[in-house]
Amino acid sequence: MRSHEVGSAPVHRDTDHGWEVVLPVGGTSLDGVRMAGFRDRLATGLDMRVLPQPVVVVVIGLGDDPLTVESATGCRRVRSLVASLAPGPARIRGEGVECVEVCLSPAAAYALLGVAPRELDGSVIGLEDLWGRHERRLRERMTDAGTWPERLTLMNEFLARRVAGGPSMAPEVAAAWDTIVARRGRVRVDDLAASFGWSRKRLWSRFSAQIGLTPKRAAMLVRFDHAARALCAGANISDVALACGYADQPHLHRDVLALAGCTPGALAGMATSAG
């Protein structure tokens, strides 16, 4: 992986909700990393439910006010945060929000975060708890930067330095994750282990240590992600269950309840209420 100058960035404005979204031209040069800048132009405030997804999400807050994270473990105010692959029911609120969001594949997260994924403990935590003074220095430099391209370049360069000294995921674990994603969670763990010449126990142990989820839970997460996107796009619940590989509608209901803390109907309603 190498760093590069992000250069000018296109600006997209959500006229319905007042959000400015800035993307780096050409993405980033870091494998498994996506980033964007966000600004609440109309000061409408942020009130967002955190849903599990197959990426680790890092948010660097640039505004004057901290973000409030509400979860099963309580309420906490943070300047920056990291949400694990399956963070459990959580909500993020904020006023005058301006931030850079970075989405990390499990392999990128393993190299960049500085802790084993399992130590995130399926939660949303303050990024300063992981990066300490490095998070504070990065946040201050990005806040002081005059333009979005400067901020995104600073973020990219910071991540490039971290990844240079970070651990590498075992090729078999990375390939197992890629297979789960490519097949939309429709895999058998025994078959997956056999394809690498590993026992089920060995795959389970190595995968859990480096991804932070068991292979079965990872497949469940990827399948849920496709279902959640379809539900939020307005698809019929029974059609989603069939298309996403669930045994039946109750199976979809159980998985959505376990991962999102709500029913499929309630999940679909989030998109409706947001529009």
Q: Strand locations in the chain, DSSP E?
A: 11-14, 19-22, 33-40, 46-50, 56-61, 67-71, 74-78, 80-83, 90-94, 98-104, 124-126
Lowest-confidence region among 111-115, 196-200, 253-257: 111-115
My answer on whether 111 and 154 are in the same domain is yes
Q: How far apart are CA 15 and CA 77, in angstroms?
A: 29
Same domain for 152 and 17: yes
Q: What is the pLDDT of residue 1?
A: 29
Same domain, yes or no: 104 and 192: no
**Is residue 31 domain-shared with residue 147, that is, in the same domain?**
yes
Q: Are strands 19-22 and 74-78 parallel, antiparallel or unpaired?
A: unpaired
Structural domain span for residue 231: 171-274
Kindly tell me if the per-residue pLDDT of 272 is higher than 80. no
The CATH code of the domain that includes 129 is 2.60.120.10
pLDDT at 123: 84
Say yes or no: 83 and 179 in one domain. Answer: no
What the block records as the tokens of 154 is: 């600073």
Q: What is the pLDDT of residue 12?
A: 54
Domain boundary among 164, 193, 220: 164
Percent of the chain having pLDDT more than 70? 92
- 123 and 38, same structural domain? yes
Residue at 3 is within a domain: no
Say yes or no: 201 and 105 in one domain: no
pLDDT at 2: 32
What's the token pair of residue 81? 């945060």
Verify that 76 and 122 share a domain, yes or no.
yes
Please indicate, yes or no, if residue 1 is contained in any of the structural domains: no
Could you tell me if 126 and 175 lie in one domain?
Answer: no
Q: How far apart are CA 88 and CA 82, in angstroms?
A: 13
Domain count along the chain: 2
Which token pair is 125?
A: 């935590």
Q: What is the pLDDT of residue 4?
A: 38
Q: Give pLDDT, residue 10.
A: 56
List pLDDT tens digits, range 24-62.
Answer: 887 787 899 999 999 988 888 889 888 899 999 999 999
Same domain, 16 and 62: yes
DSSP-assigned letter for residue 118:
G
Please report where in the chains the tokens 């890629």 appear, as a residue.
178
Compute the C-alpha angle 208/211/213, nearest 5°: 50
Q: How confident is the model at residue 269 (pLDDT cuts 50, 70, 90)?
A: confident
Better pLDDT: 149 or 26? 149
Boundary-marking domain end, from 164, 180, 203? 164
In this prediction the pTM is 0.89
Q: Are 49 and 83 in contact (CB under 8 A)?
A: no
| Domain annotation covers residue 5 | no
Note the Cα 38 to chain centre separation in Å.
Answer: 15
Looking at the structure, tell me whether residues 236 and 200 fall in a common domain: yes
The string of pLDDT tens digits covering residues 63-118 is 778 999 998 778 999 999 999 998 888 899 999 899 999 999 999 999 999 887 77
Q: Is 7 left (phi over 0), alpha (psi -120 to 50) or beta?
A: left
pLDDT for the residue numbered 11: 53
**Nearest to 52, CA basis, from 115, 114, 129, 106:** 106
- The reported pLDDT for the residue numbered 271 is 57
Look at residue 17 in the predicted model and tell me its pLDDT: 65
Q: Are 264 and 231 in contact (CB under 8 A)?
A: yes
Question: What's the rounded Cα separation, in Å, for the pair 71 and 92?
Answer: 9
